[in-house]
Amino acid sequence: MAQQLVDRRDLDFVIWEQMQSETLIDNDDYKEFNKKTCDMIITEARTLAIKEMLPTLAEGDKQGVRFEKGDVKVPDCFHDVHKLILEGEWQSLAMSPEMGGQGAPGFVSAACAEYFLSASWALYSYTSMGNGTASLIDLYGTPEQKKTYIPNIVAGKWGGTMLLTESQAGSDVGALETTAVKNGDGTYTLSGSKIFITNGEHDLCENIIHPVLARIEGDPPGTKGISIFIVPKYFVNDDGSLGDRNDIVCTGVEEKHGIHASATASMALGSKGKCVGYLLGTPKEGMKVMFNMINGARMGTGLQGLSYASAAYLLAVNYARERVQGRNLEDFKDHSALSVPIIKHPDVRRNLLWMKSYVNGMHSFFYYLTSCATRGALGKTEEERERFGDLFDMLTPSIKDYLAVRGHEVCIQAIQVYGGAGYCQDYPVEQYARDCKITSIYEGTSGIQAMDMLARKLGRKEGRVFASLLEEIGLTIAEARKIEGLEEIAGQVEKVVNRLAEISMIMGKRAMSLEFKTAFVHSLPFLNVIGDTIMGWMLLWRANVASQKLANGAKKKDLSFYNGQVKTAQFYIQTILPEVLGKMDAIAAGCPAAIEIDDDGFGGL
């Protein structure tokens, strides 16, 4: 069976039936789009992903990137497909027409990206990562900077990055040591080094534009003293042509556990004393500027985790349909009975439904948050824009970490379905698991996301934003209570939601008390139970929609799909969600052992 990457029926269900995205494109900003055009775009993306990009997945992983005297060579198979992506302008699908993009609705660009990321994340990131750079320049750049850089970045002719991390300043950005000295002509001379720079150097584009965090000489320490600069690989002449090479060079690339085809570069700035940068925005506002990339980066990382999980699950379930091994359990003593596909075995079925419940729930969660972003920007009333804009901002740490961590767990379980074969490189589930692990690390580790939720997001607007999340879930529960057959699982979700409300109060008060360190010890479990609860919400919501379709006379070809939604919700809510109450009890108890243990008590001396 050909690899699917994404369950198109499920994608259509989420977009059109659950999220009712036709209401989102009823807006002047999307007057060029209707359901038919959106479906056509997604279908074309699927074709490109499966026919052209997917063949580069294993080959790119095997060859990896090559570092040759300051230059980085991407896998050979990437070049022709990279041209196809740019020719179709797929890299700029989500960008505004004013910036040279196509201005597609968020759910359309996300659906296309879901196919591209699962087909070959590394390849697609070379074409699309510059969008974040272009957006920063669009928001904070001078008219000259916008004219100089944005058109070629959005067109994919030039690449873009973010130079943030240093060896002594990873998550502690304020400890960075890269410096900037102002020159007489208003430019700055930069000096320093950066590590873990995705696409910091490669041979797929003619220029790379680097936003660089640095401290202007004399500015205060910490994050409040950081500025941000545009540092091009090649200078740009007044006529738009490329000039001399700037003094920014790649000093090496990392050999990694996964994403071998992605160039993770170390960069040196000013090794010859001639690295020139151009201030973006105003001095000492570098963190403010950079944070405009954060929510988009978190969403992108969450989608990456989801894409790997979706592809791995589909491989596993179809392998289970085809792999014949062992007799049916009822025929265990009958040695003459024929062997059956492993999908007939109870534990394999449990594992597959475990995977399906998370993939389905994460699918809905991602597109719900995508719709929140759209409604936050284009909602018809100020109240709608504020409500959904706040929900989007609050839930980005959750979407990033939950989809990353659970996505990796799904990939691991996909290997389990394959057994020993899945541990071998003959099957792509092994690569998906390796590639997925990075998603819980970059763009802020799990612990960073948890601290953000507890320290910044939970108490926003005196807790009213978190309360609005619980209200949204409550609407789904109330609807489910009216549907025959869903009353019991609706009550079980309500029980967990009520307990989450209590836990949020406990955590908020503890974080503001003398026990604040204990609160942060439990911040990641707290972030996890928020995600677990949201999974229950999303699956109950799916069951609501499916049950109504069944009650209204669904087409025969859709019966298994809709019944599958109900069974998936029942499985998660009745077998997994009860465990979440235990997790919440542990959070409420607030064991301080991790704070109280002596450093030497960890052992290893």
CATH number for 311: 1.20.140.10
Q: Is 443 a catalytic residue?
A: yes
Asked if 226 and 184 sit in the same domain, the reply is yes
Domain span at residue 251 reads 158-284
Please count the residues of the chain.
605
pLDDT digits (tens, 9 = 90+) for 482-493: 999 999 999 999
pTM: 0.96
Asked if 522 and 567 sit in the same domain, the reply is yes
Tell me the CATH number at 120. 1.10.540.10
Backbone phi, psi, residue 231, to 5°? -125, 100
Asked if 43 and 165 sit in the same domain, the reply is no
Task: Report d(CA 434, CA 255) in Å as an integer.
Answer: 13
Task: Compute the average pLDDT of residues 230-244.
Answer: 97
**Which listed residue (166, 201, 430, 443) is catalytic?**
443
Q: What percent of the chain has pLDDT over 90?
A: 94
pLDDT digits (tens, 9 = 90+) for 366-418: 999 999 999 999 999 999 999 999 999 999 999 999 999 999 999 999 999 99
What 3-state DSSP class applies to 165? coil
Instruction: Tell which residue, 63, 61, 445, has the closest CA to residue 258.
Output: 61
Asked if 500 and 566 sit in the same domain, the reply is yes
Over 90: is that where the pLDDT of 208 sits?
yes
The residue ranges of DSSP E strands in 156-298, in sequence order, are: 158-160, 179-182, 188-198, 207-216, 226-232, 234-236, 242-245, 248-253, 264-269, 275-279
| Total domains, the chain | 4
Over 70: is that where the pLDDT of 1 sits?
no
Asked if 433 and 476 sit in the same domain, the reply is no
Asked if 420 and 303 sit in the same domain, the reply is yes
Asked if 314 and 424 sit in the same domain, the reply is yes
CA distances from 553 to 18, 441, 546, 562 (A): 17, 46, 11, 11
Asked if 198 and 302 sit in the same domain, the reply is no
Tell me the CATH number at 263. 2.40.110.20
Q: Give the pLDDT score at 170.
A: 66
230 confidence band (pLDDT: 50, 70, 90): very high
Asked if 335 and 273 sit in the same domain, the reply is no
Task: Report d(CA 280, CA 544) in Å as an integer.
Answer: 48
